[in-house]
Structure 1
């Protein structure tokens, strides 16, 4: 992708969701989940935002972590696509939307997976062996089959 990104990250907190927020998934009861990222332990980690949780939920280590202050991806979602992936994320003929980074600067991509009737947002990267990491049910889980958010 060339030129400036048609997307930006907007600061929010405590479950807030700005207008033009990109919905990345949904709970099994159809409540929307928005794409967010937040600072935690030296990194900027991708996760899911919902007004019902009063924050951003991220996967870190083996835990689900709630971050009260975060950023939400905003822009025209019609200019994005979800690319199916299996195992480690290896961008080839597509450009992932960079969502954040690990404490050592390694890029993290925005990912989602189907879990118990919902579509949940998490993180993937070329260094995450086995799949994406997603916060679900109070812990961090790895999903082998998932999709990565990419530019059209």
Structure 2
């Protein structure tokens, strides 16, 4: 059964897995009372955040100026849409990393480590990875089976990665052993590949994350 869309503790739909962030999980610049005017560092400078705050503000402005579609950022921040839940209930975010000439998609529980499935294993990557940032309201999850059929989707999936030969990879989510895992899917793949307990797993039924 497809996990429902969870918002403020209530279940509102039977078709979407992404979740809006709770107040305590929001990024620094989303919190009440923290305002940054155009061209002025404001509160962040007063707090002594310096170059980090300036860069994060610029990243945020870049995302806001886009089409509204979530985008990957090199900052290890848990400000993105929650796309899954681990077996212990911890939120999972989409992550990607460069591995052997490709950009491969996996999951991150926080901003310190990503878990990417590759070559039959679950690779644990620290530092050199990106996390999907943006609002959960900008994405949805569409059921699929087997190879990803791009022509059959109501909207385009998020362009998230590629194999070393250039084949496109997209974000997928799947129910597995009481959890909702985040992995990679594509037209050249038979289902979704994702990391779990140190191994690369594959299931043929999954959901692909698309832009609204």
State the TM-score bracket (shorter-chain normalisation).
0.7 to 0.9
1:89-128 map, 5 Å: 89-91=148-150, 92=152, 93-128=154-189
Q: What are the ranges of 5 or more consecutive residues in structure 2 without an aligned counterpart?
A: 1-65
- Which ranges in structure 1 are unaligned for 5 or more consecutive residues? none
Residues 78 and 110, structure 2, Cα contact 8 Å, conserved in 1: no
Structure whose residues are more often helix by fraction: 2
Q: Distance in 1 between matches of 2:163 and 2:81?
A: 22
Partners in 2 of 1:102 and 1:124 — Cα distance? 11
Q: CA deviation at 1:106?
A: 1.0
1:144: how far off?
1.0
In 2, Cα distance between the equivalents of 1:148 and 1:51?
22
1:98-144 Cα shifts (integer Å, max 9, x gaps): 11111111110000111111100000000012x11000111101111
Structure with higher strand content = 1
Q: Is the 8 A contact 1:10 1:18 kept in 2?
A: no
Give the greater-gyration-radius structure (CA): 2
> Do the aligned partners of 2:78 and 2:93 also contact (CA within 8 Å) in 1?
no
Deviation of residue 22 (structure 1)? 1.8
Name the residue aligned to 1:63: 121
Count of matched residue positions in the alignment of Structure 1 and Structure 2: 144
Deviates more, 1:43-52 or 1:71-80: 43-52
TM-score by length of 1: 0.88
